[in-house]
Chains A and B, each alone.
Chain A
Amino acid sequence: MALSGLEIYKLLPKTNCKECGQPTCLAFAMKLAAKGAELSACPHVSEESKAALESAGAPPIRLVAIGSGDQKFEVGNETVMYRHEKTFYHQPGILVRVKDTQAADAVVVTVQQVQNYSVERVGINITLNGIAVENASGNAQTFAKCVELVRSKTDMPLVLMSQDPAAMEAALAAAGDSQPLIYSATAENWEAMAGLAKKFKAPLAVYAADGLGGLANLTDQITKAGVADLVLDPSAANVNSTLASLVQVRRHALRKNFRPLGYPVITFPSRLASTTEEETVIAAQHIARYSGVVVLDNFDPTLIYPLLTLRQNIYTDPQKPIQVKPDIYTFGDPGDKSPLLITTNFSLTYFTVAGEIEASGIPTWLLIADSEGMSVLTAWAAGKFDAEKIAKTVKTSGIADKIGHRKLVLPGFVAGMSGEVEEELPGWKIAVGPREAVDISPYLKGVWSPD
Chain B
Amino acid sequence: MPVTVQTPVEKWNGAVREVTLGATKADGGTRGRTVTVGGSATLPFLHFEGAIPNRPVIAIQVQDIDPLDWSPTLRSAWGDVTKDVLKWAAKAVDLGADIIALNLRSAHPDSGNRGPEEIAETVKSVLGAVDLPLIIYGPGVPEKDNEVLVRAAEVAAGERVAIGLCEQNNYRTIVAACLANGHVAIARAPIDVNIQKQINILMSDMGLPLDRILMDPTTGALGYGLEYSFSVMERLRLSALQGDGMTQMPTICTIGDEAWRAKEAKVSQGVPEVWGDFAKRGVVWETITATTLLNAGADILVLRHPQAVENVRKAIDQLIA
Chain B residues with CB under 8 Å of A448's CB are none
Contacting A82 at CB < 8 Å: which of B45, B238, B264? B238
Does B274 belong to the interface (CB within 8 Å)?
yes
Closest to B320 in A: A240
Chain B residues with CB under 8 Å of A313's CB are 222-223, 226-227, 230
Chain A residues with CB under 8 Å of B10's CB are 251
**18 A-B contact pairs sorted by A residue (CB < 8 Å):** A83-B227, A84-B235, A119-B275, A212-B5, A213-B3, A243-B45, A243-B319, A277-B284, A278-B311, A285-B315, A300-B276, A301-B273, A301-B274, A301-B275, A313-B223, A318-B227, A381-B190, A438-B266
Does B321 belong to the interface (CB within 8 Å)?
yes
- Known A-B contacts A83-B227, A248-B7, A313-B227; A284 and B275 likewise in contact (beta carbons under 8 Å): no
Chain A residues with CB under 8 Å of B226's CB are 310, 313
How many pairs of A and B residues are in contact by the CB < 8 Å rule?
Answer: 148
Closest to A289 in B: B295
A309 & B223 in contact (Cβ 8 Å cutoff) = yes
- A187 CB to nearest B CB, Å: 12
Does B34 belong to the interface (CB within 8 Å)?
no
A256 & B8 in contact (Cβ 8 Å cutoff) = yes
A281 & B263 in contact (Cβ 8 Å cutoff) = no
Contacting A310 at CB < 8 Å: which of B190, B232, B277, B288? B288
Does B314 belong to the interface (CB within 8 Å)?
yes
A281 & B311 in contact (Cβ 8 Å cutoff) = yes
Closest to B291 in A: A281
Contacting A84 at CB < 8 Å: which of B231, B281, B288, B315? B231
Chain A residues with CB under 8 Å of B270's CB are 359
The 9 lowest CB-CB distance pairs between A and B, nearest first, are A302-B276, A301-B276, A239-B318, A251-B8, A313-B227, A84-B231, A213-B5, A309-B223, A302-B277
Does A68 belong to the interface (CB within 8 Å)?
no
Does B12 belong to the interface (CB within 8 Å)?
no
Contacting B288 at CB < 8 Å: which of A119, A306, A359, A375? A306
Contact with B along A160-176 (1 / 0, CB 8 A): 00000000000000000
Which residues, 300 to 320 on A, are CB-close (under 8 Å) to B? 300-307, 309-310, 312-314, 316, 318
Which residues, 24 to 73 on B, are CB-close (under 8 Å) to A? 43, 45-48
- B310 CB to nearest A CB, Å: 9
Chain A residues with CB under 8 Å of B211's CB are none
Does A102 belong to the interface (CB within 8 Å)?
no
Compute how far the CA of A285 lies from the CA of B2 in the bound complex, rounded to whole angstroms: 32
Residues of A bordering B, CB below 8 Å: 82-84, 117-121, 212-213, 216-217, 220, 238-240, 243-244, 247-248, 251-252, 255-256, 258, 260-261, 272, 277-278, 280-282, 284-285, 288-289, 300-307, 309-310, 312-314, 316, 318, 348, 352, 359, 375, 381, 437-438
Contact with A along B219-263 (1 / 0, CB 8 A): 000111111101110110010000000000000000000000001
Compute how far the CA of A82 lies from the CA of B231 in the bound complex, rounded to whole angstroms: 8
Contacting A305 at CB < 8 Å: which of B7, B45, B275, B295? B275
Closest to A348 in B: B224
Does B267 belong to the interface (CB within 8 Å)?
yes
Closest to A316 in B: B227
Chain A residues with CB under 8 Å of B228's CB are 318
Contacting A272 at CB < 8 Å: which of B3, B230, B318? B318
B266 & A240 in contact (Cβ 8 Å cutoff) = no
- B293 CB to nearest A CB, Å: 10
A288 & B295 in contact (Cβ 8 Å cutoff) = yes
Instruction: Please count how many residues in chain B sit with their CB below 8 Å of the partner chain's CB atoms.
Output: 54
Chain A residues with CB under 8 Å of B43's CB are 247
Q: A272-B318, A304-B276 are in contact. List 15 more A-B contacts (CB 8 A).
A: A82-B231, A83-B227, A119-B275, A240-B320, A243-B45, A244-B45, A260-B3, A278-B311, A280-B287, A281-B291, A301-B273, A302-B281, A302-B284, A305-B274, A309-B223
Chain A residues with CB under 8 Å of B227's CB are 83, 313-314, 316, 318
Closest to A381 in B: B190
Does B169 belong to the interface (CB within 8 Å)?
no
Compute how far the CA of A260 lies from the CA of B4 in the bound complex, rounded to whole angstroms: 10
Chain A residues with CB under 8 Å of B4's CB are 213
Which residues, 165 to 203 on B, are CB-close (under 8 Å) to A? 190
A240 & B45 in contact (Cβ 8 Å cutoff) = yes
Compute how far the CA of A117 lies from the CA of B8 in the bound complex, rounded to whole angstroms: 39
Closest to B234 in A: A82
Chain B residues with CB under 8 Å of A239's CB are 315, 318-319, 321
B231 & A83 in contact (Cβ 8 Å cutoff) = yes
A314 & B230 in contact (Cβ 8 Å cutoff) = yes
Contacting A117 at CB < 8 Å: which of B234, B274, B288? B274
A119 & B291 in contact (Cβ 8 Å cutoff) = no
Closest to B293 in A: A288
Chain B residues with CB under 8 Å of A280's CB are 284, 287-288
Closest to A245 in B: B48
Which residues, 289 to 309 on B, are CB-close (under 8 Å) to A? 291-292, 295-296
Compute how far the CA of A376 lies from the CA of B318 in the bound complex, rounded to whole angstroms: 39
Chain B residues with CB under 8 Å of A277's CB are 284, 287, 311
- Known A-B contacts A281-B287, A300-B276, A438-B267; A240 and B47 likewise in contact (beta carbons under 8 Å): yes
- A279 CB to nearest B CB, Å: 12
Chain B residues with CB under 8 Å of A248's CB are 7-8, 48
Does B112 belong to the interface (CB within 8 Å)?
no
A217 & B3 in contact (Cβ 8 Å cutoff) = yes
Contacting B222 at CB < 8 Å: which of A216, A258, A302, A306? A306
Does B88 belong to the interface (CB within 8 Å)?
no
Chain A residues with CB under 8 Å of B79's CB are none
Compute how far the CA of A303 lies from the CA of B238 in the bound complex, rounded to whole angstroms: 31
Most chain B beta carbons < 10 A, residue from A220, A239, A318:
A239
